[in-house]
């Protein structure tokens, strides 16, 4: 058995950082995890006493945009959290080892730190045809996942692929790409987005480091802190929505004025994410700020809810360019036409009946008899 990793504080001191640097890092981390000023002591204590948790980062059916996003987190500087404070034992993209050595790193970590390591999963798992569509080191993604999840202290699903399947699970989902929470029987923290915001990713990891437990999750397994509100409700263009000021086409005056992109198919009102709060790339901007509607990349099945530039999705089974409104209009007109035809038929065929009704009636003057 390998000894426990040193604490984060100890490893920082060993690298020549000062106590002041350490406290500064703790403040960053506390801010990210949404801790109040009074809770800073908890963070400091955690990093002083808890060993650096080893991390296994798996890559399955994905494009590595999650990793790309993660290494662009603004604070704490990614190099710090990833290489200094976490102990990243296995990740195909960034590790130095290759081939059998790489796989050995993973197996060693699983063995030596059973029940202690954090498992981060990027990408979905193909379940069709025994998972031949994603094999690493001769093993299927599914078996690697099951094996690695066994002894994990916490499992995080990075991005929409691992959380809800993303593009490879879009219809017709040829490889039966499956999000990981449907495969392993352990609580999974879903951090959806294509990619998720780097700062959100570091914040989730920070939470686990500091508190040693899962952040509060919503009904879809997403941390409430970052996925509790709609992009729409925190959008700086929201006042234009309430005022009914909308962009009508991409090149009109309204677009230039920065009006609401609702009519251009913006998915802000149906998307839960922190984009309009934390923004992207060190809080530089986010899609809507750049003049493009939200495509709802952190929402379940967003690829099948297209086109992106249309408020209502195409209705499945009726060919392209058919929305609920098209169907409703056709059925509505059909009903009106049917009713009109029925009324005409009634008047033709019920003449006799109406005559009888007349016979049953009395005239005011004559009376019944």
Partner 1 sequence: MAKSKAVPYLRVYVWEFPVRLYHWVNAACIVLLIITGYIIGSPTTIRYADEAYQQYWFGTVRFIHFVTAFIFFFNFLVRIYWGFAGNRYARWKNFIPLSRKQWREILEVLRVDILQIRSGEHISLGHNALAGFIYFLTFLVFLFQAATGFALYSSMSSSWLPGLFTWVIPLMGGDFAVRQWHHLAMWFFVVFSIIHVYLVFYHDYVEGRGTTSSMVGGWKFEKEDILKKK
Q: Using CB under 8 A, list all residues that contact partner 1.
A: 219-220, 229-230, 233, 239-246, 248, 253-254, 262-263, 267, 269-272, 296, 299-302, 305, 311-313, 315, 324-325, 327-329, 331-332, 335-336, 339, 342-343, 345-346, 349-350, 353-354, 357, 359-363, 366-369
Residue of 325, 323, 279, 275 whose CA lies nearest to 296: 275
**How far apart (Å, rounded) are the C-alpha atoms in residues 43 and 215?**
15
User: Using CA of residue 302, residue 305, residue 309, residue 312, what is the dihedral sign?
Assistant: negative
CA–CA distances in Å: residue 7 to residues 54, 55, 77, 108, 110: 11, 14, 19, 20, 19
Residues 6+ apart with CB under 8 A from 104: 97
CA–CA distances in Å: residue 320 to residues 114, 258, 264, 266, 316: 51, 30, 18, 19, 8
For residue 119, the cross-strand partners are 56, 155
Nearer to partner 1, 94 or 312 (CB): 312
Residues 6+ apart with CB under 8 A from 157: 121, 163, 179, 180, 181, 188, 189, 190, 191, 192, 221
Closest separation between CB of residue 233 and partner 1, Å? 6
Nearer to partner 1, 242 or 251 (CB): 242
Closest separation between CB of residue 192 and partner 1, Å? 10
Residue of 179, 122, 119, 156 whose CA lies nearest to 299: 179
Closest separation between CB of residue 348 and partner 1, Å? 9
Structure token pair of residue 293: 């509607």
Closest separation between CB of residue 277 and partner 1, Å? 15
Closest separation between CB of residue 267 and partner 1, Å? 7
Q: For 187, phi and psi rounded to 5 degrees?
A: -65, 135
Nearer to partner 1, 321 or 325 (CB): 325
What angle (nearest 5°) sits at the alpha carbon of residue 282, between those of residues 121 and 62? 25
Closest separation between CB of residue 338 and partner 1, Å? 8
**How far apart (Å, rounded) are the C-alpha atoms in residues 135 and 126?**
10
CB contact at 8 A, 156 and 191: yes
Structure token pair of residue 286: 């986010």
Closest separation between CB of residue 324 and partner 1, Å? 4
Nearer to partner 1, 83 or 236 (CB): 236
User: Using CA of residue 87, residue 91, residue 95, residue 98, what is the dihedral sign?
Assistant: positive
Closest separation between CB of residue 226 and partner 1, Å? 14
Closest separation between CB of residue 292 and partner 1, Å? 17
Nearer to partner 1, 137 or 328 (CB): 328
Nearer to partner 1, 16 or 367 (CB): 367
Nearer to partner 1, 92 or 299 (CB): 299
Nearer to partner 1, 78 or 277 (CB): 277
For residue 272, the cross-strand partners are 230
Nearer to partner 1, 251 or 360 (CB): 360
CB contact at 8 A, 234 and 277: yes
Nearer to partner 1, 51 or 306 (CB): 306
DSSP, collapsed to helix, strand or coil, labels residue 171 as: coil
Closest separation between CB of residue 187 and partner 1, Å? 15
């Amino acid at each position: 058995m390998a000894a426990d990793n040193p604490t984060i504080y100890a490893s920082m001191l060993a690298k020549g950082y000062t106590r002041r640097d350490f406290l500064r890092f703790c403040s960053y981390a506390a801010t990210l995890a949404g801790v109040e000023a009074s809770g800073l002591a908890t963070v400091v204590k955690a990093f002083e006493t808890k060993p650096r948790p080893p991390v296994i980062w798996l890559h399955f059916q994905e494009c590595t945009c999650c990793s790309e996003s993660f290494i662009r987190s603004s604070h704490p500087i990614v190099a710090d959290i990833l290489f200094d404070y976490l102990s990243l034992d296995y990740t195909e993209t960034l590790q130095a080892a290759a081939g059998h050595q790489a796989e050995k790193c993973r197996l060693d970590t699983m063995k030596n730190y059973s029940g202690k390591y954090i498992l981060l999963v990027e990408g979905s798992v193909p379940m069709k045809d025994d998972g031949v569509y994603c094999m690493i080191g001769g093993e299927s993604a599914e078996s690697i996942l099951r094996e690695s999840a066994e002894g994990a202290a916490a499992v995080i699903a990075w991005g929409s692929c691992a959380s809800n399947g993303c593009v490879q699970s879009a219809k017709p989902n040829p490889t039966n790409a499956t999000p990981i929470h449907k495969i392993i029987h352990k609580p999974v923290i879903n951090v959806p987005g294509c990619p998720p915001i780097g700062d959100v990713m570091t914040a989730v990891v920070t939470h686990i480091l500091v508190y040693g437990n899962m952040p509060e999750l919503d009904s879809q397994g997403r941390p409430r802190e970052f996925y509790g509100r709609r992009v729409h409700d925190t959008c700086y263009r929201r006042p234009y929505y309430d005022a009914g000021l909308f962009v009508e086409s991409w090149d009109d005056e309204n677009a230039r004025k920065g009006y609401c992109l609702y009519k251009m198919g913006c998915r802000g009102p149906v998307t839960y994410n922190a984009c309009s709060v934390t923004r992207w790339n060190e809080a530089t901007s986010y899609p809507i700020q750049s003049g493009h509607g939200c495509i709802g990349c952190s929402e379940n099945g967003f690829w099948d809810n297209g086109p992106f530039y249309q408020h209502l999705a195409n209705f499945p089974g009726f060919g392209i360019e058919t929305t609920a409104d098209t169907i409703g209009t056709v059925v509505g007109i059909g009903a009106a036409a049917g009713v009109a035809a029925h009324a005409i038929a009634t008047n033709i065929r019920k003449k006799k009946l109406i005559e009888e009704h007349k016979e049953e009636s009395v005239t005011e003057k004559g009376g019944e008899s």
